[in-house]
Amino acid sequence: MGVLFTLLIGRLGQVQLTDHADYRSAAAQLNTREIVVPAVRGRILDRTGKPLADNTSVTVITVERRVIADSADGGRALLTRMAEVLGLRAADLLARTHLCGEKDAPPAPACWAGSPQVPIPVASGVDPQRALSIVERPDRFPGVAVEAVPVRRYPAPLGVNAAHLLGYLGRATESEVSKSDGAITADDLVGRAGLEQQYDAALRGTPGRTVVSVDARGLVTGVVSRTDPVPGRDLVTSIDAGVQAATEKALAREIAAARSRGEPADSGGAVVLDVTNGQVVALASAPTYDPNVWTGGISSKEYAAISSTESGTPLLSRVTASALPPASTMKVVSVAALIAAGNPLNGTYACPANYRIGDRVFRNFESRPYGPISLHRALEVSCDTVFYDVAYRSWQALGGLKGDDAKDPFITTARTFGLGQRTGIDLPEESAGRIPDRRWKRAVWEQTKDDTCARAKNGYPDVARTDPARAAYLKQVAVENCRSGWQFRAGDAVNFSIGQGDVAATPLQMGAAYAAVANGGTLRQPRVGVRTVDPVSGAAQAIPAGPTRSLGLSKQLTAYLQTALRAVVVSGTGQAAFAGMPADWPVSGKTGTAEAFGETATSWFLSYGPSTKPRYAVSVAVSEGGFGSETSARVARSVHEALRVMK
């Protein structure tokens, strides 16, 4: 017994005299918790300061977890009384008192997914007067408080939608939290698309930290320390709300008009670029949706409605993420390519009705035969056969089927104009488009040859039941591709020259290319963000402009293209759409009508203005919208009229 008491006294002495500091620290850690206080998110503003995305507040009623834990019925009586005053279901309020993941907790979002150390928000968006009537009766509603909680809001100045430009917020994932080194918590909302995602770090700000003491049950007993959050920085963009609204309205109106003419017109996009600095003045995509649908959480039904193909996939941006054959708008690039191939700029070129290569006839789609004409006239009237001939002769000169991508003037010039690669715009999920060169053809053939050869043997019986002609055509293509689909044939070369076949570009890529022609030959990286601003001090930090590069065009060629594009609108394929356009805002442009077997053509119109001193480029594409001289050209005209007013 004496030995045991000696050991006990010795151990107590060690704990109290030697190890007391370590145990005190451990005890403090066990009895405190850190609560993250989210920062107010920065606003997104147009170039004049109009808010495109800002914050509002909703009335939230909270209940202390201690009150719920201490009540014999788990807070049921208290929440029932609250539900009667608020006009809500008691079961919904009771469900929020359960932490998501704990035993008997209802599935999200009915349960509470936040921190267990903060008061439980049992009801959000309630009537403020009803909420205050509860707070005024602490005897009946102990531990109940009312808070004004900030939430994201998209105020739509001048009717602006801009859903694809702005993006939305979503709850942080476990991966994001673990990789953020404490900058993001599980309670944070982070940008999921558009500017909200691209500039999330600046907009989100720095969360505050509150250290609270807790008892053995994990309930808060006091506040140990507090660090206030730092609000996020405001983002000033290059968007002009007036032009953005006009672009959205024009796109929606002309898509509706095309449908009334019998065209499917299932989607479309339009973008306005400042040719002097690459800034995006407007960006519109259709179909669209109300960005406020994300505020306070989106239901599975609402999410399905904006993401399903049946509704047109409204979440997809048709300006940056959807690539289509650019059709005759590609001819500006092809003129530069044929000059690079050694053809004379001021030469004469044949424009027949059709052009034959072997047993295949390529027709002059947008135009009629004009006989011998200049390249200027070929652009003005959009003569396809001029480009067929030049592209075919170039293909032959390169060795035909044995040609080299690196030496192909059409492929290398297209890449110089920025096609087949992302523009680098400060928006996420941008498509690179497609330049179907020899390497691409072989890679695709290797990936698909087994299925292609199976189709060559068995055909398309499912298609044949409703469309025998289409099924026969598809089988013929499959037979040819099974045998030699990796080859870059003469037909590929001529289709490439007029932006058909497998060529694909986004409206943003084509807009940047035409902006380069308008400004004299400088390709600029598009930018939406201009600067971030501290909402407290007003200190601004500029967002660097993107890189630029020269197209390498001679002054003579640039001037030639600019003159020809002006003629398109004055006396060519774009004349009807711009008839009566005010003389103080002359427009230059190019129509494009992309054919697709079994589908209505895609409508394109690329333009800039004023022609005398170019400032803005406008790119419009409408999938299955018909002729470029109709649907897209009319959208572009409305946008130019809005730009004229803005000047």
Tell which wins on pLDDT, 96 or 360.
360
Axis-axis angle for helices 409-416, 331-340 (nearest 10): 120
Upper half-sphere CA count for residue 100 (Cβ side, 13 Å): 11
Dist. CA 51–CA 603, nearest whole Å:
33
Q: Quick one: three-class SS letters along 392-447?
A: HHHHHHCCHHHCCHHHCHHHHHHHHCCCCCCCCCCCCCCCCCECCCHHHHHHHHHH
Hey, what amino acid is at 433?
A: G
Same domain, 337 and 412: yes
Provide the pLDDT confidence category of residue 187 given band limits of 50, 70 and 90. low
Asked if 338 and 217 sit in the same domain, the reply is no
**Domain annotation covers residue 637:** yes
Q: Is residue 18 domain-resident?
A: no
Determine which helix (DSSP H) or strand (DSSP E) holds 573, and give its type and residue range: none
Q: How confident is the model at residue 498 (pLDDT cuts 50, 70, 90)?
A: very high
pLDDT at 30: 53
Residue 287, preceding peptide bond in cis (omega within 30° of 0):
yes
On whether the CB atoms of residues 535 and 344 are closer than 8 A, the answer is no
10 within some domain: no
Between CA 296 and CA 169 the distance in angstroms is 10
pLDDT of residue 421: 97
Residue 338 and residue 310 share a domain: no
d(CA 109, CA 106): 8
Q: Are residues 585 and 598 in the same domain?
A: yes
Q: Which residue has the higher pLDDT, 120 or 627?
A: 627
- Sheet with 616-623, edge to edge strand ranges: 280-286, 267-274, 616-623, 599-609, 588-596
How far is Cα 417 from Cα 415, in angstroms, rounded to an integer? 5
Q: What is the dihedral of CA 162, 165, 169, 173, to 10 degrees?
A: 160
Cα 128 to chain centroid, rounded: 37
Which residues, at least 6 apart from 169, have a Cβ–Cβ distance to it below 8 Å? 41, 152, 189, 190, 191, 192, 196, 294
Q: Is the pLDDT of residue 334 over 90?
A: yes
Q: Please write the tens of the pLDDT for every residue from 549-581.
A: 999 999 999 999 999 999 999 999 999 999 999
Same structural domain for residues 332 and 275? no
Instruction: Judge if 438 and 316 occupy the same domain.
Output: no
Query: Mean pLDDT in the chain?
Result: 90
Under the banding of pLDDT at 50, 70 and 90, the label for residue 359 is confident
What confidence score (pLDDT) does residue 304 get? 81
Same domain for 345 and 450, yes or no, is yes
491, 434: one domain: yes
* Percent of the chain at pLDDT exceeding 70: 93
First to last CA, the chain: 99
Residue 119: cis peptide before it, omega within 30 degrees of 0 = no
- 218: pLDDT confidence band, cut at 50, 70 and 90? low
Q: How far apart are CA 474 and CA 462, in angstroms?
A: 12
Give the count of beta carbons closer than 10 Å to the beta carbon of residue 558: 18
Element (H, E) at 19: none
- Which of 99-108, 134-143, 329-338, 482-491 shows the lowest per-residue confidence on average (mean pLDDT)? 99-108
Does residue 281 sit in the same domain as residue 342?
Answer: no
DSSP code at position 324: B
Are 97 and 113 spatial neighbours (Cβ–Cβ below 8 Å)?
no
Min mean pLDDT across 119-133, 233-247, 602-616 is at 119-133
Per-residue pLDDT at 647: 65
pLDDT tens digits for range 380-390: 999 999 999 99
Indicate whether 62 pLDDT > 70. yes
DSSP state of 137: -
Residue 103: per-residue pLDDT = 77
Range in 14-28, 99-113, 534-548 with the lowest mean pLDDT: 14-28
Q: Is residue 437 located within the same domain as residue 390? A: yes
Three-state DSSP class for 189? strand
Residues 603/625, Cβ–Cβ less than 8 Å? yes
Of the three residues 237, 263, 285, the one that is the final residue of a domain is: 237
Contacts of 163 (CB under 8 A, 6+ apart): 154, 194, 285, 288, 289, 290, 291, 314
Cis-peptide into 109, omega within 30 deg: yes
Which are the contacts of 350, defined by CB distance < 8 A and separation ≥ 6?
A: 371, 372, 385, 386, 389
Write down the pLDDT at residue 370.
Answer: 95
Please say if the pLDDT value at position 399 is more than 90: yes
pLDDT tens-digit readout, 419-453:
999 999 999 999 999 999 999 999 999 999 999 99
236-273 burial code (b ≥16 CB/10 A, e <16)? bbbbbbbbbbbbbbbbbebbebbeeeebebbbbbbbbb
What's the CA angle centered on 22, arms 18 and 27, to 5 degrees? 130
Q: Do 295 and 395 sit in the same domain of this protein?
A: no
CATH number at residue 526: 3.40.710.10
Evaluate if residue 500 carries a pLDDT over 60: yes
Mean pLDDT for the stretch of residues 521-538: 97
Assess if residue 14 is contained within a domain.
no
Of 209, 237, 265, which residue sits at a domain end?
Answer: 237
User: Where does 532-590 have alpha helices with state H?
Assistant: 555-571
Among 239, 248, 244, 240, smallest CA distance to 289 is for 248
In a domain, 28, yes or no: no
pLDDT at 132: 79
CATH number at residue 73: 3.90.1310.10
Quote the CA–CA distance of 587 and 639 in Å, as a whole number: 11
Question: For residue 251, what are the domain limits?
Answer: 241-326+504-530+553-646
Pick from 55-69, 179-193, 313-327 the range whose average pLDDT is largest: 313-327
Mean pLDDT throughout 609-635?
97
Q: Within a domain: residue 437?
A: yes
Q: What's the pLDDT at 605?
A: 98
What pLDDT is stored for residue 114 in this prediction? 64
Asked if residue 400 is part of any domain, the answer here is yes
Q: Is residue 21 part of a domain?
A: no
> Quick one: pLDDT at residue 13?
75
Q: Kindly state whether residues 485 and 602 are assigned to the same domain.
A: no
Domain count, the chain: 3
Give me the pLDDT at residue 524, please.
98
Look at residue 166 and tell me whether its pLDDT is greater than 60: yes
Could you tell me the maximum CA-CA distance found in the chain, to the nearest angstrom?
Answer: 121
Average pLDDT of span 466-490: 92
Q: What is the pLDDT of residue 220?
A: 65
- pLDDT band for position 400 (50/70/90)? very high
Contact criterion met (CB below 8 Å) for 507 and 619? yes
d(CA 509, CA 424): 10
What's the count of helices (H) and strands (E) in the chain, helices before strands? 23, 23
